[in-house]
Amino acid sequence: MTTATMLEAMAPLSRKPVAERVALKLLDLIRTGNLRAGDKLPTESELAAALQVSRPIVREALRGLSILGVVESRQGGRCYITDLSPSRLVAPLQMVIAIDESNVDALYEARSAVEGELLKLGVRRITEGQIARLWELVHAGHELARDAIGFRVLDLEFHQTLMSLAGNPFLERIARSLYDLGIEYRRVASETEGVIARSAAEHEAIVEAIALRDPAKAADAMQAHLLSISRTTYAAMAKLRAASA
C-alpha cells in the first residue's frame, strides 16, 4: 500500500486548520510505523489528491514539519522523513524559548529534574574509565580558575559527559537543550570573580559522589551546583541591566 493510498483510507480531516490536519495525518503515519526515517514522501500533487486539499495547503504542512525537524527537502525537490534523531526533534525548542528574570527559576528547576534523574541513571551504569575521565575534567577545571573561556569549554565537556553516562539519547538531548538556554548570561557570570573557582569545587563534589556510586548523593550535588548557577545567572542579568540603563 502506498503512502497516498494510506492517506486516502484514513479518517476524514477534523475541523482544525487544514494545513495542521495534513501535518497531523503525516505524523500519525510516522507514529504508527507506516512511514519511517528516510522514507520518500509522495509528491505535493499526490498528497493533495489523496487528502483532497490544494497543493499550497500541502506545502504549508510540509514547511511546518520541516521546521519541527520531521521532514527535509532534498535535491530534486522531493521531501523525505528525516532521521528523526532526538537532537533534530528537540532543537526547535531552543528557538522559541527565551530566558529572562521571570523564568530563570523554572529553567533551573527543569535542569535539576532532568540532569538529576539522568545522573542517577548514569551513576548506576558508569565505568571506571568514565570516572577517570571525570576526575581529569575536575583537575583541569581547578587549573582554569582564571581562564573564563577555557573553563566554559571545559564546563560544556563536563556536563555533556555526565549527560551521556546513562546512555539515553532522548533525555541527553533534552538536558543539552536546557543547558544551552541562557548561555549568554553564564558567559557574563563566568567572568565574575570567584564564580569559576566555586563551579570547579562543585564539579568535584559531583564526581566524588559519582565515584562512591551513590545516585542520591550525586543528584544532590548536581542540585546544589544548579542552584549556584541559578544565583549567578540572576547576578549576570542584573549586571547587564545596569550596564544598559
Q: Per residue in 33-62, pLDDT tens?
A: 888 888 999 899 999 898 889 999 999 989
Range of the domain at 58: 3-84
Same domain, 106 and 214: yes
Q: Which of 81-90, 180-189, 210-219 has the highest mean pLDDT?
A: 210-219
Same domain, 70 and 97: no
How many domains does the chain divide into?
2
pTM of the model: 0.66
Residue 232 to residue 185: CA distance in whole angstroms: 9
Decide if pLDDT at 10 tops 50. Answer: yes
pLDDT, average across residues 57-86: 84
Residue 8: which CATH number? 1.10.10.10
Backbone dihedral region of 82: left (phi > 0), alpha (psi from -120 to 50 degrees) or beta? beta
In this structure, what DSSP letter does residue 13 have?
Answer: P
pLDDT at 241 over 60: yes
Looking at the structure, do residues 99 and 163 belong to the same domain, yes or no?
yes
Note whether 138 and 193 are same-domain residues: yes
Q: Are residue 70 and residue 102 in the same domain, yes or no?
A: no
Domain end call among 59, 84, 109 = 84
- pLDDT average, residue stretch 229-243: 84
What are the CA-CA distances from residue 4 to residues 52, 81, 98, 110, 226 (Å)?
11, 15, 39, 41, 49
> Residue 139 maps to which CATH number?
1.20.120.530
The answer to whether residue 11 scores a pLDDT higher than 90 is no
Give the 3-state secondary structure of residue 40.
Answer: strand
- Asked if the model's pLDDT at residue 165 lies above 80, the reply is yes
pLDDT value of residue 13: 47
Nine-digit cell string for 156: 560544556
Residue 231 and residue 215: Cα distance in Å, rounded? 25
For residue 73, what are the β-bridge partners? Answer: 79
- Choose one of 53, 84, 115: the last residue of a domain: 84
Measured CA to CA, the distance from residue 232 to residue 229 in angstroms comes to 5
Domain end residue (candidates: 84, 101, 120)? 84
Band of residue 5 on the pLDDT scale cut at 50, 70, 90:
low
Euclidean distance between CA atoms 162 and 171, whole angstroms? 12
Whether 138 and 226 map to the same domain: the answer is yes
As a whole number of angstroms, the distance between CA 187 and CA 46 comes to 50
| End-to-end CA, the chain | 64
Contact criterion met (CB below 8 Å) for 220 and 209 = yes
Q: Spell out where the chain has E strands.
A: 71-73, 79-81
Residue 212 and residue 36: Cα distance in Å, rounded? 43
Q: Are residues 174 and 214 in the same domain?
A: yes
The tens digit of pLDDT for each residue in 22-37 reads: 888 888 888 888 888 8
Residues 221 and 128 in one domain: yes
CA nearest neighbour of 99 among 178, 213, 205: 178
Please check the confidence at residue 182 and state whether its pLDDT lies above 70: yes
DSSP 79: E
Is residue 106 located within the same domain as residue 193? yes
Residues in a beta bridge with 79: 73
Residue 86's pLDDT band, with cuts at 50, 70 and 90, is low
Same domain assignment for residues 162 and 217: yes
Per the model's pLDDT, the better-predicted residue between 111 and 184 turns out to be: 111
